Structure 1
Amino acid sequence: MKKTLIFLLCSVMNITAFAQNFDDFFEDKTLRVDYIFTGDAGHLDIYLDELSSLPEWAGRRHHLSEIPLGGNGEITMKDKATGQVIYRTSFSSLFQEWVTEEEASRVRKGFENSFLLPYPKKEAVVTVALKNVYHKVSTSLTHEVNPNDILIHQRGLARITPHRYLLQSGSSKDCIDVAIMAEGYTEQEMDLFYKDAQTACDALFSHEPFKKLKNKFNVVAVASPSQDSGVSVPGKGEWKSTAVSSHFNTFYSDRYLTTSRVKSIHNWLAGIPYEHIIILANTDTYGGGGIYNSYTLTTAHHPMFKPVVVHEFGHSFGGLADEYAYTEAPSPQYPYEVEPWEQNITSLVDFESKWKDMIPAHTPIPTPVATQKPDIYNKVGVYEGAGYTKKGIYRPVTECRMKINEAPAFCPVCQRALERLINFYTEK
């Protein structure tokens, strides 16, 4: 009995030693860190651009030193005095995607990136690292943060962008805060924007697991005005002056709609609690994009608006990969010898870490494509063709929201991945 009591006491002491209390390390404020990622296919660099202070912290207050997904990059904050890791987060970036493009072999470019961290009470050391497609760190930057630095830009204290809550389930301490922004809507078109934002919100929460976990979310529509109506389409010679300067033809792909003006996004949102971002573009041209822990950007007036905004949010919020394939050649983003960090595709290098436990006994691997509904949406297996390549990368079901717009739902594997992520953010 005495040994048992000693063991239990030691266990409690260990738990206490490693448990992190948010209030011990952080103010109820946000530190926005702006970086410039630069380079080409052969060499990457990171430069610190600006630090900003926002009046409230809307992120998680537990699991502070953990990351739920690997991403293509990682930020680690340490207490300067002790060296203790006090916060970690992961992300992907448009820059890292561009590095895999042919253009990166012949020109150097720079991309804006902004990240939200809890505001430290004491001096901290922040390291941002970019990973290559083999999940190895390709470059990193370490810098110090003095919370009393007078040059930290105070934002969000005045001139807050007009906004309206579409869903308010609780406080930012308890809920995940999603901001839906206007892009290409003039001041006179904001009634249309609010209507489109409600449509996007309704579409998202018609899908599981968002539907059953709706009470863990707040959604705010932010009426960021544009000078011009619509968005830029360089392929047609159309350039517009809009809130976040988005445009089609990203990487010369007609349907790829993104923006490299990431600081503009966050400037519009300053003073409003937010963690994840959906940007609605006022156009009926088909397209969009979603980048993990960065933003979703999609068109609001195409007939496929509802499934596309949900699909892209699967990328930006859930870190889910595209499950479609269009080439026989390997994708430069997914080498066959590496297990992707995204939870809904696999190279079979480390399938144990994915959905192997969800496959019925005696299911062949690879799995023949299902042909009968509803099996094409629900029969979990290992179906070849995902991550843009038809060979060597596998998806969980025949058809899913992360593969085609016609799929009625996320597949069981994607649903589980999303639910785990939501619980990571909201549960102690």
Structure 2
Amino acid sequence: MKRFVLLTLLLFVNFLNAQNFNEFFEDKTLRLDYIFAGNSEKQHAFLDEIIQYENWYGRKVNLNKVLLEGNGQIRVKDAKSKQIIYKQSFSTLFHEWLTLDVAKNENKSFENTFLVPFPKNEVFVEVVTFDKNRKEVILLNHKVNPKDILIKKLPKSSNEKVKVIQKAKTENPIYVAIVAEGFTKEEMPLFISKAKDVAEELFKHKAFANHEEVFTIVAIETVSQESGVSNPHTNHWKNSVLKSNFGTFYSERYLTTSRIKNLHNQLAGTPYDHIIILANTDIYGGGGIFNAYTLTTSNHKKFAPVVVHEFGHSFAGLADEYFYAVDVFENTETNQIEPWEQNITSLANFDLKWKNMLQKETPIPTEIKDLDKYRIGVYEGLEGTGLYIPSHDCRMKTNEATDFCPVCQRAIEQLIEFYTKQQ
């Protein structure tokens, strides 16, 4: 009887905590455009524009929680009750810039865009970031009146621009848009073919295959005036629709776009929450930024596993499990701080990571000579950083791996369920 009363009480508490989407939000999207600026010592965020889309394509459950802390968060608070009604975590190119030596003496600004569900009533929006010690810093706090006549309404994109690659079989799907970069109108059949290859490759990996029914994947035909993408290392600059380029932070293979507003303008009115950008080039490279976008080459022979690797970054917030001495910003945590990414650890608080997935006799740290003995371990895989990884056979480690390691797989599946099921 006592167990029944306790269970009933727990279910009642969970019911109270389960926020109803329709209580606070309309089926629309509020797009918030910001400028992040500053240096490694002092950062600022400035509101640029507020834009409304028809329909909301983000999650409708677990609205006031985040599963991953990220490098920053957007928090929406109901102005009347002051309660948090929506949260989303993120990372940005700005956060990467702050880790560079040049950021100690120079200031730089970056565009950033965030999508939140459209509120029924006035709200306060907090833009939060975390410093190098993982201490919370509020960069901006501003009010949004949903009835403000200056909230811009962008025209809906033509349906001809959107091609459905896969349609979810659930009521609360995860929307992924695959976007063309550097493809001319005549090259769109090639882009659609590459987009289908991406979807096929994604679902070869167990974490996504186990939840294939929750994904709606669309291809967005964004047409470029010129074929290809810009590469400053070869002095080639292209008039591509998303203005991407190699050479981000002078890293030869790092391919990104800093024109974030333009990216979202191209997608306005299309069904999207997560973004994969396919660049029309055979040069090896790419980039993935948590809850921002994946951007990769599409003509290189290894493009398919690279897309999945970068989507591991942008969708699931997974860290790289490799280290190159020339990398400019990767894996700069210290051993006094536990990284927020689920697949690396400094051992500062390993209980929060994959400790419960280890065999009982697994030594911590684990020596590389014991790779065959322990499928999951605590291996020094990030030389000189004081960080450890769970495996040397993982999509986040190498292109030759056939799948994500069990730790990364668990992290992806937990996030998929967080997006689709009330917790």
**TM-score, structure 2 length as denominator?**
0.95
Give the structure 1 partner of residue 336 of structure 2.
Answer: 337
How far off is 1:328 after superposition?
11
Distance in 2 (alpha carbons) for counterparts of 1:167 and 1:331: 34
Distance in 2 (alpha carbons) for counterparts of 1:332 and 1:383: 15
Give the structure 1 partner of residue 297 of structure 2.
Answer: 299
Q: Which deviations, in whole Å up to 9, do the C-alpha atoms of 1:152-200 show, x marking residues without a partner?
A: 11124355670101001236x5110000000000111101110111111
Letter in 2 for 1:163: V
Question: 1:110-149 counterparts in 2 under 5 A?
Answer: 110-149=109-148
Give yes or no for the alignment of 1:381 onto 2:377. yes
Letter in 1 for 2:414: R
Q: Which deviations, in whole Å up to 9, do the C-alpha atoms of 1:67-99 show, x marking residues without a partner?
A: 010100011101101111101110000111011
Q: Secondary structure at the match of 2:85?
A: strand
- When structure 1 is superposed on structure 2, of 298-307 and 6-15 the one drifting more is 6-15
Give the structure 2 partner of residue 245 of structure 1.
Answer: 243
Give the structure 1 partner of residue 398 of structure 2.
Answer: 404
Letter in 2 for 1:203: E
Unaligned runs of 5+ in 2: none
Maintained 8 Å contact 2:226/2:240: yes
Specify whether residues 119 and 189 from structure 1 end up closer, same or farther in structure 2 by C-alpha distance, changes over 3 A only.
Answer: same
How far off is 1:8 after superposition?
7.3
Letter in 2 for 1:306: A
Letter in 2 for 1:248: F
Specify whether residues 192 and 78 from structure 1 end up closer, same or farther in structure 2 by C-alpha distance, changes over 3 A only.
Answer: same
Distance in 1 (alpha carbons) for counterparts of 2:163 and 2:335: 46
Maintained 8 Å contact 1:160/1:270: no
Give the structure 2 partner of residue 282 of structure 1.
Answer: 280
Distance in 2 (alpha carbons) for counterparts of 1:189 and 1:9: 59
How far off is 1:17 after superposition?
3.7
How far off is 1:137 after superposition?
2.4
Question: 1:24-63 counterparts in 2 under 5 A?
Answer: 24-63=23-62
Letter in 1 for 2:120: K
Q: Secondary structure at the match of 1:59?
A: coil
Q: Secondary structure at the match of 2:368?
A: coil
Give the structure 2 partner of residue 183 of structure 1.
Answer: 181
Q: Which deviations, in whole Å up to 9, do the C-alpha atoms of 1:342-384 show, x marking residues without a partner?
A: 0000000010010001111111111121577xx49x8000001
Among 172, 175, 182, the alignment partner of 1:174 is 172
How far off is 1:236 after superposition?
1.1
Maintained 8 Å contact 1:29/1:56: yes
How far off is 1:392 after superposition?
1.4
Q: Secondary structure at the match of 2:240?
A: coil
Letter in 2 for 1:323: E
Letter in 2 for 1:66: K
Distance in 2 (alpha carbons) for counterparts of 1:152 and 1:43: 30
Give the structure 1 partner of residue 321 of structure 2.
Answer: 323
Specify whether residues 398 and 10 from structure 1 end up closer, same or farther in structure 2 by C-alpha distance, changes over 3 A only.
Answer: closer
Give yes or no for the alignment of 1:164 onto 2:160. no
Specify whether residues 4 and 259 from structure 1 end up closer, same or farther in structure 2 by C-alpha distance, changes over 3 A only.
Answer: closer
Specify whether residues 228 and 202 from structure 1 end up closer, same or farther in structure 2 by C-alpha distance, changes over 3 A only.
Answer: same
Maintained 8 Å contact 1:225/1:243: yes
Among 255, 260, 264, the alignment partner of 2:262 is 264
Maintained 8 Å contact 2:176/2:274: yes
- When structure 1 is superposed on structure 2, of 127-136 and 417-426 the one drifting more is 127-136
**TM-score, structure 1 length as denominator?**
0.93
How far off is 1:255 after superposition?
0.3
Give the structure 2 partner of residue 354 of structure 1.
Answer: 353
Q: Which deviations, in whole Å up to 9, do the C-alpha atoms of 1:220-246 show, x marking residues without a partner?
A: 000101111000001111111111100
Distance in 1 (alpha carbons) for counterparts of 2:165 and 2:326: 44
Q: Secondary structure at the match of 1:75?
A: strand
Q: Which deviations, in whole Å up to 9, do the C-alpha atoms of 1:272-306 show, x marking residues without a partner?
A: 11110000000000000000000000000011101
Give the structure 2 partner of residue 254 of structure 1.
Answer: 252
Letter in 2 for 1:73: G
Unaligned runs of 5+ in 1: none
Identity %: 50
Specify whether residues 5 and 205 from structure 1 end up closer, same or farther in structure 2 by C-alpha distance, changes over 3 A only.
Answer: closer
Give the structure 1 partner of residue 206 of structure 2.
Answer: 208
Among 407, 416, 421, the alignment partner of 1:413 is 407
Distance in 1 (alpha carbons) for counterparts of 2:219 and 2:149: 32
RMSD: 2.2
Question: 1:65-76 counterparts in 2 under 5 A?
Answer: 65-76=64-75
Maintained 8 Å contact 2:59/2:419: yes
How far off is 1:138 after superposition?
3.7
Give the structure 2 partner of residue 82 of structure 1.
Answer: 81
